[in-house]
Amino acid sequence: MANHKSAEKRARQSEKLRLHNKYYARTTRNAIKILRDTTDKAEATALLPKVSSMLDKLAKKNIIHAKKAANLKSSLTLHVNKL
Q: Provide the residue ranges of all domains of the chain, joining segments of one domain with +.
A: 5-82
DSSP state of 62: T
Alpha helix positions (H), 1-83: 5-37, 41-60, 66-82
**Separation in Å, CA 32 to CA 38, 41, 46, 72:** 10, 15, 13, 9
| Number of other residues whose CB lies within 10 A of the CB of residue 72 | 20
pLDDT at position 4 is: 92
Give the confidence band of 51 by pLDDT, cuts at 50, 70, 90.
very high
Q: Which fold has domain 5-82?
A: Methane Monooxygenase Hydroxylase; Chain G, domain 1 (1.20.58)
Which of 81, 20, 30, 80 lies closest to 55, judged by CA?
30
Q: Residue 3: pLDDT band by 50, 70, 90 thresholds?
A: confident
Quick one: pLDDT band at residue 2, thresholds 50, 70, 90? confident
